[in-house]
């Protein structure tokens, strides 16, 4: 689907369907009546016998045709004061979704949808429109044709050039989010570690000019002494991969920071010998969503010409069962020299990440973000809707929360208190890979990761176990596919860092 800026109103005139946002008028005491600005449309509307059925409450829709053959869709936006960019994103996604199969072209009267915060709201409309047609149907032998090819946004001549800039900036973001969704939604019999790394390499070479690619294979990973990461791979039929990408901005400024993004890339998590029961093993193809999230964020930030040096690290393997898989009770030496007792092979994400984080610290970044579908406990604590955040730096948390708010994503901080260190003390090794049963599982996993962050580096951990998929409540996500949530928050942070 293509988006076009319509500064003359010509596309609006020609479109098969014209969409106009209508707010409720609150001055009519008890009866809510719609506030239709455009005179001709208002006259037409009032001439209809059925007009009393439409009150412009949020999400309400009303179709009407005039005698020239023009079709209008009125979208109720409710109370103007309650409107937010997320409400817009959802409303736009919802009506676009219901017209994907029918109309070829759809024209939105942008200025009827909001009158404040042009950049934020216009961006939300664009995201709502372009994210909503995402589908993953490569394995369907027949699928429904999408007719809707063009969405135009009508605005004033004065706003048009700003709108074009907003579109130009939004496109790489949306494209990168859709690619991240594709990777995470891919099935595990196709997307093994080797395949995944090579797909990423191809994408970088094709689309991210100037980005350095290094892919560590099993021998390289051994040389790096990443025994903990290798222990997760021990049962796999495929070699592990560590993808290492580097972007350096063309213009170097004194304010330039080095931000590293690290992702858990478990292409399938069986649990290993601590095997998951059938009900919880389903959906474990998404266990590499941390890596697709950080890749999506890296990709979007690079394409938008981010002003900071960026590193992207993806620790990729599956967690399989075989005679070679790691036994629970094993003790493994990590890259940083500590020993870890592996009491549960299903707590594998933190093992892969521990070595990857230690490796990343050696690159001396100012900030590290890691993203991982790390704990089921995160779903218990925060649901499918909210991303868990843990960090060693209060001011970093502040900036991340600000970024999340600006991009309408939900994030909530969980504390890592010093006492959690005691939860992961081992009797035979330095630490163990699980805490106490039913006790702060998400934050204790965060405490485990923190053991691998070297002094002076600001770090934040995003537990995306809930938000990575199952976002059926968001019309700009597609049921049965990954969400790519948190990509926008990370990119927003990078631009403001």
Catalytic residues: 276, 350
Give the Cα separation of 116 and 127 in Å (integer). 18
355 counts as binding Mg ion under rule CB under 5 A: no
Among 235, 224, 484, which residue's Cα sits nearest to residue 346? 235
Selected from 269, 358, 463, 492, the binder of Zn ion by CB under 5 A is: 269
Sign of CA dihedral 348, 352, 353, 358: positive
- Residue 245 or 266 with smaller CB distance to Zn ion: 266
Sign of CA dihedral 242, 446, 441, 482: negative
- Residue 17 or 431 with smaller CB distance to ligand BES: 431
- Smallest gap from residue 329 Cβ to Mg ion (A): 17
Selected from 34, 263, 349, 466, the binder of Zn ion by CB under 5 A is: 349
The entry of Mg ion, Zn ion, ligand BES, none that residue 375 binds, CB within 5 to 8 Å by partner kind: ligand BES
CB 335 within 8 A of CB 358: yes
Give the Cα separation of 370 and 314 in Å (integer). 10
Selected from 182, 287, 318, 463, the binder of Zn ion by CB under 5 A is: 287
- Residue 11 or 381 with smaller CB distance to ligand BES: 381
- Residue 324 or 398 with smaller CB distance to Mg ion: 324
Stretch that binds Zn ion, among 51-59, 175-183, 344-352, 390-398 (CB under 5 A): 344-352
Give the Cα separation of 77 and 85 in Å (integer). 12
The entry of Zn ion, ligand BES, Mg ion, none that residue 490 binds, CB within 5 to 8 Å by partner kind: none
- Residue 373 or 471 with smaller CB distance to ligand BES: 373
Cα→Cα distances 369→124, 174, 222, 253, Å? 25, 21, 24, 22
Query: Which 226-285 positions form the footprint of Mg ion (CB under 5 A)?
Result: 269
- Residue 227 or 318 with smaller CB distance to Zn ion: 318
Tokens standing for residue 415: 């504390």
DSSP letter for each residue of 90-125: HHHHHHHHTTSSS-SEEEEEGGGT-SS-HHHHHHHH
Task: Give the residues lining the site for ligand BES (CB under 6 A).
Answer: 269, 287, 344, 346-349, 373-377, 434, 441, 465
- Smallest gap from residue 311 Cβ to ligand BES (A): 24
Question: What is the chain's Cα-based Rg?
Answer: 25
Q: Is 339 helix (H, G, I), strand (E, B) or coil?
A: strand
- Smallest gap from residue 421 Cβ to ligand BES (A): 16
CA angle 485, 486, 487 (to 5 degrees): 90
- Smallest gap from residue 295 Cβ to Zn ion (A): 18
- Smallest gap from residue 96 Cβ to ligand BES (A): 29
- Smallest gap from residue 319 Cβ to ligand BES (A): 7
Alpha helix stretches (DSSP H) within 149-243: 157-185, 193-207, 218-223, 227-233
- Smallest gap from residue 317 Cβ to ligand BES (A): 12
Selected from 346, 408, 409, 463, the binder of Mg ion by CB under 5 A is: 346
Give the Cα separation of 73 and 108 in Å (integer). 10
Residues in contact with Zn ion, total (CB under 5 A)? 4
Stretch that binds Mg ion, among 141-149, 249-257, 339-347, 442-450 (CB under 5 A): 339-347
The entry of Mg ion, ligand BES, Zn ion, none that residue 376 binds, CB within 5 to 8 Å by partner kind: ligand BES
Across the strands, what pairs with 411? Answer: 387
Tokens standing for residue 11: 């596309």
- Residue 79 or 426 with smaller CB distance to ligand BES: 426
Give the Cα separation of 295 and 234 in Å (integer). 25
Give the Cα separation of 283 and 299 in Å (integer). 25
Residues in touch with Mg ion (CB under 5 A): 269, 346, 348
């Amino acid at each position: 689907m293509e988006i076009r800026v319509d500064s003359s109103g010509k596309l609006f005139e020609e479109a098969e369907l014209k969409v106009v946002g209508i707010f409720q008028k609150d001055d009519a005491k008890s009866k809510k009546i719609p506030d239709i600005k455009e005179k001709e449309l208002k006259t037409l509307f009032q001439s209809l016998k059925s007009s009393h059925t439409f009150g412009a409450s949020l999400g309400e829709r009303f179709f009407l045709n005039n005698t020239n053959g023009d079709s209008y869709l009125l979208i109720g936006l409710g109370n103007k004061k309650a409107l937010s960019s997320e409400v817009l994103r959802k409303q736009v996604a919802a009506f676009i979704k219901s017209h994907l199969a029918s109309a070829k072209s759809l024209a939105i009267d942008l200025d009827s949808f909001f009158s404040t915060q042009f950049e934020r709201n216009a961006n939300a409309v664009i995201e709502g429109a372009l994210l909503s047609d995402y589908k993953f149907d490569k394995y369907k032998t027949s699928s429904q044709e999408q007719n809707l090819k063009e969405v135009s946004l009508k605005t004033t001549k004065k706003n048009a050039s700003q709108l074009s800039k907003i579109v130009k900036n939004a496109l790489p973001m949306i494209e990168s989010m859709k690619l991240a969704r594709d990777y995470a939604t891919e099935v595990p019999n196709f997307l093994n570690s080797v395949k995944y790394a090579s797909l990423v390499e191809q994408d970088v070479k094709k689309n991210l000019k100037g980005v350095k690619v290094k892919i560590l294979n099993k021998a390289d990973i051994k040389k790096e002494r990443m025994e903990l990461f290798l222990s997760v791979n021990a049962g796999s039929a495929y070699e592990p991969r560590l993808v290492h990408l580097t972007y350096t901005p063309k213009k170097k400024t004194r304010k330039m920071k080095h931000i590293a993004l690290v992702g858990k890339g478990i292409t399938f998590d069986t649990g290993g010998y601590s095997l998951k029961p059938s009900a919880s093993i389903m959906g474990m193809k998404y266990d590499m969503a941390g890596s697709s999230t950080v890749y999506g964020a890296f990709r979007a930030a690079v394409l938008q010409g981010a002003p900071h040096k960026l590193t992207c690290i993806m620790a990729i393997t599956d967690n399989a069962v075989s005679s070679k898989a790691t036994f629970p009770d094993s003790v493994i030496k990590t890259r940083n020299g500590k020993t870890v007792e592996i009491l549960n092979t299903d707590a594998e994400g933190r093992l892969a990440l521990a070595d990857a984080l230690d490796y990343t610290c050696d690159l001396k970044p100012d900030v590290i973000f890691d993203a991982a579908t790390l704990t089921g406990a995160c779903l218990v604590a925060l649901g499918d809707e909210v991303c868990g955040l843990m960090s060693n730096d209060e001011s970093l948390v502040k900036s991340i929360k600000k970024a999340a708010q600006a991009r309408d994503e939900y994030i909530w901080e969980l504390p890592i208190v010093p006492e959690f260190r005691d939860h992961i003390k081992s009797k035979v090794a330095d630490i163990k890979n699980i805490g106490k049963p039913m006790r702060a599982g998400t934050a204790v996993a965060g405490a485990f990761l923190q053991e691998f962050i070297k002094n002076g580096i600001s770090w934040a951990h995003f537990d995306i176990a809930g938000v990575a998929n199952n976002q059926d409540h968001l019309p700009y996500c597609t049921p049965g596919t990954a969400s790519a949530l948190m990509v926008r928050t990370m990119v927003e942070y990078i631009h403001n860092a």
